[in-house]
Structure 1
Amino acid sequence: MQQQKQGMVLKWLLIASLINNFAFGLIWPIVTVYVNTSLQQSLVVVGWVMLLIASGQAFGSIISGRLFDRFEPYRLILFGTGAMIAIQVILIFFHGWPSYVINLIIASLLNGWIMALINGYGTLVRSRDGRFVFNMLYFTNNFGMVLGTALLGIIYPFGIAWLFGLAVVLYIGLLVIVRRNFKIDASFSTYKDGEQTSTLPRWNRRLVYSVIIGLVVLWIAYAQWQGNLSVYMTQDLKLPLWQYSLLWSINGLLIAVIQLGMNAFKLTESSKAMWVQIFGGMAMFGVAFLVLPHATSFAGFALAMVVTTLGEVTAFPMIPALVNELTPDNLKGRYQGLVAAAPSVGRAIGPLLGGIVIEQHGYTALFDSGAALVFLTVVALALLIYKGYRQTEKFNEGA
């Protein structure tokens, strides 16, 4: 198969992103229930399992991101997809204790591997502005996860092996797409020709690492919604579980409507709008934590979720876009790998940090400290960007 020279075709990249997250959405949301009930392990063990899964995703993203700049990306994503098919086949037959956890950690590492490579391929799209590309990637990531989670509840009662079987089919479909559409000429993204610098300019490096740390902070905050807040709502406030689940339906619907609307009005392609999205979005996470202490009914939590989703849908896609702008072609994979790893780091340490605060000081302290952490991050990042952005060198800068 000859290499395509026109860059990555956005349509196939988005389809690949959708399939990858659809397939993984069938697997990881059931981990807590399956390990606790079917495998009869304690919630402490469940917590460690979730930590290892998130760590596996982070390591997979970091490793593949660095390799993206050194080796042919096509071979890397081909390997990751093929290995994911193999591990899903193994999970069909071996999902007892502890084989289930061991295989799932490997699967999470491969998922992080594939996600970082998809982000890396996003920097090779030449037909659209980088901000549009990463906004659409964020949309397909979420839509795929929503599809997977929705089917999960229907298929799981028939047995967990059926989930892995469907994941195998999806990853085989992904493999076909990769073989047909991902073999592009990415030589300009590597430094094999020795013509490009292998280090970032000083202020580029400072701002890139700053926004990645900011993304980790946002995910530490977001992880409270995925873990500790479910306990707070159902056990402390005695709200039914379906109300907590409904919050995520609101989240998914808002993400779809807002992102499609932003793309329709081309709001994602403006450099000025990017700054509004990053700082406005981050601030909304802090505002949501200010709402939570006063939420005692579904309406209060729904309001906080709406504010959080507005922050998520505006800030999250723009951070990889900004990193893309601040990194040269030969280093994009490395730093997009770090961007892809940031959510996993936040998910790994967020529930643990939140649990410590709750145990020592209660939920009100969790909400107050969460708001303070987010706002301090916004201020620190704003000062750094105000001081250093004009001194950075721009790569692939949009309109």
Structure 2
Amino acid sequence: MRAMRGWFQDTTGGLPKTFWYLWTGTLINRLGSFVLIFLAIYLTQVRGFSATQAGLVLGMWGAGGAVGTTIGGMLADRWGRRPTLLTAHLGGAVMMLALGFTRDLWTVAAGALLLGLFAEAARPAFGAMMIDVVPKRDRLRAFSLNYWAINLGFACAAVLAGFAAQAGYLLLFVVNASTTVVTALIIFVKVRETRTVTVATRQSAAPTGALRTILSDRVYLGFVALNLLGALIFLQHISMLPIAMADSGLSPATYGTVIALNGVLIVVGQLFVPRLIRGRSRSHVLALASVVVGVGFGLTAFADVAWFYGLTVLVWTIGEMLNSPSNATLIAELSPDELRGRYQGVFSLSWQLAGATAPILGGLVREQAGNAALWFGCAAIGALMAIGHLLSGPARERRALALRTAGSAPVVTIQSSAPAPTAPQAAEPVATTRG
């Protein structure tokens, strides 16, 4: 028992209060993240769209997200993290409800585009705020805890959404919008602006200078390109996997239960991963993760019953668990302080580009070359990623070391023009023991 208490203190202790408010908002938001999990099933079974048309709608979501992360990263650095988060969450809630009432293909696609824009505009601001408030020594476990909350919410949402869909798919949109609003309220009441800007390099943070800096950062762009390949694999779990399971005669509720295994495994094991990989080469960890993810998705080619689909999910989830903490800390260390929001935005852009292309490519490959070709292709991409991480890892570590040793200029905190209102102090949330 004493060892367990020590482990719990080592895992959760000493993190700032703002982190726990963000963590709580993440958990609540993910508990209601019904729509994206079941959107492919909703589009094909309720709206009667083909796999290619469903892929188009999901692709529009990704295209909107690509624009959203770009805008969100810029606003996080220039306007502030807090107002960007509030605007993105409230806009996302409105568009979530609007999407639930749309019917024809092109209206649904337009709604998905706008929803992706608002929903993903929050991602760079959130990531930048996490880096702002958590000291470097604590970031690995802080990002692991946040990832744990994401997957705890996802696991519960996947199961609950399967049953909620039986009462009517509109309920999925309503619940998803509601939890997004609750998250915005937590940020409005409890979270203050965290953005800082270095006086000596303020000019370099101008849009033109920022874009030039990022485009010339070949090490970081190479890292982003590898993440894009990984996202092309991973996003098949919400686009082609539910369609493949439906073709095997499995119900939406069964898909919800199977995909919830992803979250359950992460909830059970993710908090132990930082200790497992601490001190190990990040490039080797990321290469191993890429291979495991590729193998997991590749095995889907042989699946035709629920337990086999569940096995494939468990395999690629292990790779996901290894990948996430190393990815998060690398992004933080490769981002110059004054450009954190934009660097977060560029990294998030890789996910949105994959979100725009993965469903369309997956649908086309599946319809033109067959189900097996899609999943074997995912395995091949995983192997390619592993080679890329091994080759580019030393340059990334040199770049991170150079940024650490360069030092920081004096900083001035830039507060939002509308600081958080005073509210009664609540007890600090404590994590208990689901991208």
Question: Aligning the two structures, in what range does the TM-score lie when normalised by the shorter sequence?
Answer: 0.7 to 0.9
1:250 is the counterpart of 2:284: no
Shift of the 288–145 alpha-carbon distance from structure 1 to 2, 3 Å rule, reads closer
Shift of the 177–289 alpha-carbon distance from structure 1 to 2, 3 Å rule, reads closer
**TM superposition shift of 1:200:** 8.7
Q: 1:223 is matched with which residue? A: 235
1:11 is the counterpart of 2:17: no
* CA shift digits 1:279-304 (9 cap, x unpaired): 22112123335544555655544433
1:332 is the counterpart of 2:343: no
Cα RMSD (Å): 3.5
Q: 1:282 is matched with which residue? A: 290
Shift of the 27–364 alpha-carbon distance from structure 1 to 2, 3 Å rule, reads closer
- CA distance in 1 between partners of 2:201 and 2:181 (Å): 32
Shift of the 355–315 alpha-carbon distance from structure 1 to 2, 3 Å rule, reads same
**TM superposition shift of 1:83:** 2.3
Tell which deviates more after alignment, 383-392 or 217-226: 383-392
- CA distance in 2 between partners of 1:27 and 1:294 (Å): 28
Give the share of equivalent positions with the same residue, in percent. 22
Q: 1:1-399, aligned counterparts within 5 Å?
A: 9-23=18-32, 25-88=33-96, 90=98, 94-97=101-104, 99-127=107-135, 129-188=138-197, 193-194=202-203, 198=210, 205-235=217-247, 244-262=255-273, 266-267=275-276, 270-272=278-280, 274-289=282-297, 291-293=299-301, 295=303, 298=306, 300-387=308-395, 389-390=397-398, 392-395=400-403
Specify every segment of 5 or more residues in structure 1 that has no aligned partner in the other structure, as ranges: 1-5
**TM superposition shift of 1:310:** 0.5
Tell which deviates more after alignment, 189-198 or 118-127: 189-198
* 2:235–2:355 contact (8 Å) kept in structure 1: yes
Shift of the 394–257 alpha-carbon distance from structure 1 to 2, 3 Å rule, reads farther
Q: What amino acid is aligned across from residue 166 of structure 1 in structure 2?
A: V
* 1:216–1:346 contact (8 Å) kept in structure 2: yes
- CA distance in 1 between partners of 2:371 and 2:45 (Å): 27
**TM superposition shift of 1:311:** 0.5
Tell which deviates more after alignment, 181-190 or 77-86: 181-190
- CA distance in 2 between partners of 1:395 and 1:110 (Å): 32
Shift of the 147–388 alpha-carbon distance from structure 1 to 2, 3 Å rule, reads closer
Q: What amino acid is aligned across from residue 219 of structure 1 in structure 2?
A: A
SS at match of 1:188: strand
* 2:99–2:111 contact (8 Å) kept in structure 1: yes
Shift of the 33–191 alpha-carbon distance from structure 1 to 2, 3 Å rule, reads farther
Q: What amino acid is aligned across from residue 193 of structure 2 in structure 1?
A: I
Shift of the 354–49 alpha-carbon distance from structure 1 to 2, 3 Å rule, reads closer
**TM superposition shift of 1:333:** 1.0
Q: What amino acid is aligned across from residue 372 of structure 1 in structure 2?
A: A
* 1:282–1:374 contact (8 Å) kept in structure 2: yes
Q: 1:3 is matched with which residue? A: none
Query: TM-score when scaled to structure 2?
Result: 0.76
Shift of the 41–310 alpha-carbon distance from structure 1 to 2, 3 Å rule, reads closer
**TM superposition shift of 1:243:** 5.5
SS at match of 1:9: helix
**TM superposition shift of 1:74:** 1.7
Shift of the 80–379 alpha-carbon distance from structure 1 to 2, 3 Å rule, reads same
- CA distance in 2 between partners of 1:31 and 1:161 (Å): 11
Query: TM-score when scaled to structure 1?
Result: 0.82
SS at match of 2:262: helix
Shift of the 48–357 alpha-carbon distance from structure 1 to 2, 3 Å rule, reads closer
Tell which deviates more after alignment, 214-223 or 184-193: 184-193
Shift of the 34–224 alpha-carbon distance from structure 1 to 2, 3 Å rule, reads closer
SS at match of 1:69: helix
